[in-house]
Amino acid sequence: MRSSPLPLTYDLYRRARQPDTCCAVLEGCPFPPMLDPNEWAPAERLEAGSMRPPGFNEDAALFSCRLQGFYIFHWSGRRPKGDPEPLP
């Protein structure tokens, strides 16, 4: 499946012990209060027009963010160079 550019900007967080587990939040929205901020670290900003990361479903992200304020997904490919390794 070929990746296409994102129409919206998302703030991306990664779970400390499972860095392939990501939480995307629409730009300008707060970090979801039901998630433990000690377990999630800001990772990057997915800018509008940038390519989607592996495992990111644009339709599901938009629906989930509008419904509950965030979208959880599994980064299903190679992590970018310099990404954290899972904590022990």
Mean pLDDT for back-to-back runs of 10 residues, the chain (88 residues): 72 90 92 89 88 88 93 78 46
Range of the domain at 57: 10-74
What's the structural domain count of the chain?
1
Please, are residues 27 and 11 in contact by the beta-carbon 8 Å criterion? yes
40 inside domain: yes
The pTM (predicted TM-score) of the whole model is: 0.78
2 inside domain: no
86 inside domain: no
Residue partners of 4: CB distance under 8 A and separation at least 6: 51, 52, 58
27 inside domain: yes
30 inside domain: yes
17 inside domain: yes
Identify residue 29 by its one-letter amino acid code: C
Please, are residues 67 and 2 in contact by the beta-carbon 8 Å criterion? no
19 inside domain: yes
Residue 4: the pLDDT is: 66
